[in-house]
Structure 1
């Protein structure tokens, strides 16, 4: 059945590992705690997130546990984006908010600031999109970003997403109300693009 996303998620025998030219998407491990803490404690990385930077390594350990539990419940796929050669954790890429009835999900991503501008996040998100559209049979993938985040905006447009609207003052970052820009990508647009 084309729309049975939850059944396809439940049938996964293990956490899906995906390999690209320069990055690998793999399951989160306990030994990723230092890298996850470095990622989510960085104010530059967290600038457009709706939560404050992490303040302790224990928060990273808790996040890794949440990531593993979300997969166990098949509610989200929280990949660690790792360097293909060294295996070092560079960031995260997540598929979440699966909606089986409407065959859609959301994508999110974060990359260590030292690796920005190298196309690694684009490669990681492309791997997740390709896998989810083929394997899960998604019809649509959405992304919701702060419109001031130009790098994220360019990444989504490069991958074929379209901006579908601005939601005014939807989130608070600290005490500041911020807008949210919704992007969408349809399966037929992904299949029809030049790669």
Structure 2
């Protein structure tokens, strides 16, 4: 029998259970929303690209059917509150990437962050804005105490993004996942809610 949750942990579990579909998050240049069936081609363009798959945990998609299956799985996982996998769209409503919160652990008040962006949009700060929106929501609206992230240690751009958000590299798992026959390490990073709030407050003060 699972142990009873503390009041704060129960509030996290209740907040997730009470969600009425995908939260819609808005920033200056991007918006996070739930995926639609019509997003299949754009998702295939992202996850069928070898440059994206190089740092992903699976080989590139080979057929648009895989993108349709991904959308169905995202919807199922959301219904079961296993994860929230948003698509990221720009100001023209073009789908440019995905942003995910997963591995929800209400008892220990933590979740994990993941993201992917089509290479045509790399280097514009859109991934940073999208993940910032997700972190604001996870910490302020849901009440998570800690957010984890795991990256390929060779993914320097992703490490730089996370470090800008205040994540700290906390360790490394050797040869921890395979993509086909290629095995890679995992670099583990963590962000505390207090660090996120302090960094956000400092940025706001600097912008005045």
TM-score range for the pair, normalised by the shorter chain length: over 0.9
Aligned residues between the structures: 194
Matching residue of 1:54: 61
1:148 match: 154
Structure 2 residue 84 is matched with structure 1 residue 65: no
Give unpaired runs (5+ residues) of structure 1: none
Q: Is the 8 A contact 1:23 1:124 kept in 2?
A: yes
Q: CA deviation at 1:129?
A: 0.3
Do the aligned partners of 1:50 and 1:174 also contact (CA within 8 Å) in 2?
no
Shift of 1:173: 2.4
Residue equivalent to 1:129: 135
**Runs of 4+ residues deviating >4 angstroms:** none
State the distance in 1 between where 2:106 and 2:127 align.
Answer: 26
Contact 1:169/1:177 (<8 A) preserved:
yes
- SS for the counterpart of 1:168 is strand
Deviation string 1:74-101 (CA, Å, 9 cap, x unpaired) is 1111000001x21111000000000111
Q: List runs of 5+ in structure 2 lacking aligned partners.
A: 1-6, 204-208
* Residue pairs, 1:39-50, within 5 angstroms: 39-50=46-57
Q: Which position in structure 2 is the counterpart of 1:14?
A: 21
Looking at structure 1, the residues matched to 183 and 40 of structure 2 have their Cα atoms a distance apart, in angstroms, of 31
Query: Structure 1 CA distance, aligned partners of 2:22 and 2:88?
Result: 14
Q: Larger RCO: Structure 1 or Structure 2 (Cα < 8 Å, ≥ 6 residues apart)?
A: 1
Asked if structure 2 preserves the Cα contact closer than 8 Å seen for 1:6 and 1:74, the reply is: no
Q: What is the TM-score with the length of structure 2 in the denominator?
A: 0.91
Aligned-partner Cα distance in 2 for 1:6–1:158: 29
Shift of 1:144: 0.5
Residue 27 of structure 1 pairs with residue 28 of structure 2 = no
Equivalent residue for 1:76, pick from 83, 94, 97: 83
The aligned counterpart of 2:175 is 169
Larger relative helix fraction: 2
Question: CA deviation digits over 1:168-195, x for unaligned, max 9?
Answer: 1111122122110000000000011122
Q: Give yes or no for contact 1:82–1:88 (8 Å, CA) kept in 2.
A: yes
Structure showing greater Rg? 2
* SS of 1:3 mapped into structure 2: helix
